Structure 1
Amino acid sequence: MRSPRRYRSGPIEYVQTLGIEEAKHLLETTSTPIDGVAAAVGYRDPTSFRRVCARMTGVTPARFRDQSFVAPGLASQWRRQRCMPATGSRQGVTRDHCPR
């Protein structure tokens, strides 16, 4: 287990970081409701989870999921769509976003 001293944070920040890292994984890989993710990583109050997640990731849990969630089996389709040249409603999505 990693030591809080190694990361120069207090015990509360350390535990929050571990919980948010697990929550990010759940948000990216499952369709579990956000309240369920909060409970799974130890938050009794979903509002508190949302606040801590937003502070640590820069976005709300819902926005984080929208930006990163790819349904199982659709990853290759998603990559093809993301790698299309910018046209029409896809303006702003360029080949620069393609995984190499």
Structure 2
Amino acid sequence: KDDREDITHNYKYPEGSEDERRVFQKANKLTEQTTDEITDPGITIKLKGSDGMNKGCDFDVYAVISNNTEVERQCRLMFCARTSSYNGQVGAECGKKDLLN
């Protein structure tokens, strides 16, 4: 018999509640990191997360790469996702995609 008691409600807002979303949004602002390292001014990259994206849930990421020159270019795009804790500590890699034009 499992005699463990779930005490999550003592330190966390109910799953899916407005309070939980508000706390996640606050944590997200504290842990956001930008690593915009575009070294070629002729190329622009726009990244967009899926609508309604919430921490702790699966999500899609979309990339639009634009060549702003008249010269044909070959691009390689590499995505890497890592877990992130509520305190900003980066964890293990949880997804990776390597796309060659």
Settle same-fold status: TM greater than 0.5: no
Whichever structure has more helix as a proportion of its residues is 1
The two structures have a TM-score, normalised by structure 1, of 0.23
Q: Which has the larger radius of gyration?
A: 2
The two structures have a TM-score, normalised by structure 2, of 0.23
Whichever structure has more strand as a proportion of its residues is 2
